Amino acid sequence: MTRPDRAGAAPPVALCDATVVVTLSPPEVIRADLVIADGRVRSLGAGERGPVTRDCSGTLIVPGNVCAHHHLYSALSRGMPYALLPPTDFTEILQRIWWRLDRALDEESVRASAVRGGLDALLAGTTTIIDHHASPNFIDGSLDVIAGALGELGVRSVLCYEVSDRDGPVRAAAGIEENRRFLREFRDLARGMVGAHASFTLSDETLEGCAEVASDAGVGVHIHVAEGAVDERDSLRRAGRRVARRLAEAGVLNERALLAHCVHVDDDEARLIEETGATVVCNPRSNMNNGVGHSPFNRRPGKVALGTDGIGGDMVAEAQAGFFRARESDLATPPDWPLARLAEGARVAGERFGEPLLGTLRPGAPADLCVLSYDPPTPISAENLAGHWVFGLAPGRVRDVYVAGELVVEDGRSTRVDEAAVAADEVHVAGRLWSRLEATPVHTYDPRREK
């Protein structure tokens, strides 16, 4: 690990003899030495080796991935107990699983979940997480806890609290205030948005409150849109219009908005979303797991990114699964489908950090990158990068990860935390969380009931 010199700044580091993916979309691939200085890519070329060098022969250096929609609070849910009747639809999945889990979270488990989720993401080459958090019994200060945990690991984040009326107006107001408070403060590796759950758990007043806070702060609203058909049915019953139109009239849809899922939108809604300039985040594995369907934005160009919706932080796996699902539906899906969507996620994160070159390895870009142990048996170029990405990459190939020029993963291990100690602590935290979960009843909020 590179240590700061006497002046307090880390010396330049040259990553030597690598194949470098300079940009994902359009792809640019070169053979070069990549020099990092002052947290940025200083140069790409040959000959400038500097005082510190790392042999990267036989590696592929790629921009750090961005998960454009995550739920870190789900990180301790793997293997959690479940003794209720199996859910039969999307609403029951929320009532019986996720809306019980989020009510069982406390400060300790929120922090542990962020550490585990952030660590898993970094080890898979994901350097920025755009998270959507909910913990109705620990709202005030929850975003600080997550930002602190991720900052300790060295991962960038864009955070928000998921505002919802499903737990009553007091908690809805507290969620709005948590977003407002978090947006007031500057943090090196964390930025904010305004979170909102989904149209079907938001009153007009609460939805407009979210839009107002976002407008005042100059940020977007990060919200689930038509993930399940229930969202559209509720909006038609509640407001006499479909979800996208309701959000547009509330001031949510604009060029800064981040819309997760968009599975059940119709063609008119899709056009409205595109006209407003909002970014859609597809979450292929989550949609398949929940049986909600597949977003039409899989087949649309433009501002479409990728997220995991809480199914880990591995964006290579997400991109591969999403591509295969899109190809299953339409053989005309272009090979660069995954690369374009990953580049869009980086654009969204770069916008929040004021870093337009984030997600590239051009000189001047933030040095957020991944060194992959990947020496392919076939040539690699801009023309065939997508094929290597889909059929050759895997999380086990991640050797090193840099964020803002710091080596935060070296030889597949975190340089910031003791992974064994983290895992041991999480076992105890998960046990306490699961005990509370088993005592938490099924959530009674049901948008399927007539209003």
Other C-beta atoms within 10 Å of 26: how many? 11
Reported in sequence order, the residue ranges of 119-273 that DSSP labels E, i.e. its strands, are 126-131, 156-159, 162-163, 190-192, 194-198, 221-225, 258-261
**285: which 2 tokens?**
């594995």
Q: What does the pLDDT read at residue 70?
A: 98
Nearest to 308 by CA among 266, 351, 341, 337: 341
Cβ(197)–Cβ(224) under 8 Å? Answer: yes
Q: CA–CA separation, 203 vs 210, rounded Å? A: 11
Q: What does the pLDDT read at residue 10?
A: 79
Q: What does the pLDDT read at residue 5?
A: 37
Q: What is the pLDDT of residues 254-310, one digit of tens each?
A: 999 999 999 999 999 999 999 999 999 999 999 999 999 989 887 777 899 999 999
Q: Which residues of the chain have a pLDDT value below 70? A: 1-9, 47-50, 450-451
The number of CA neighbours under 13 Å toward the Cβ of 373 is: 10
Give the distance, in angstroms, between the CA of residue 163 and the centroid of all CA atoms in the same chain.
18
Burial class (CB in 10 A: 0-12, 13-18, 19+), 387: middle
Q: What does the pLDDT read at residue 395?
A: 75
Q: What does the pLDDT read at residue 300?
A: 77
- Residue 16's DSSP bridge partners are 55
Show the domains of the chain with their CATH numbers: 13-64+359-414 (2.30.40.10), 65-353 (3.20.20.140)
Question: H or E element: which one contains 432?
Answer: helix 419-438
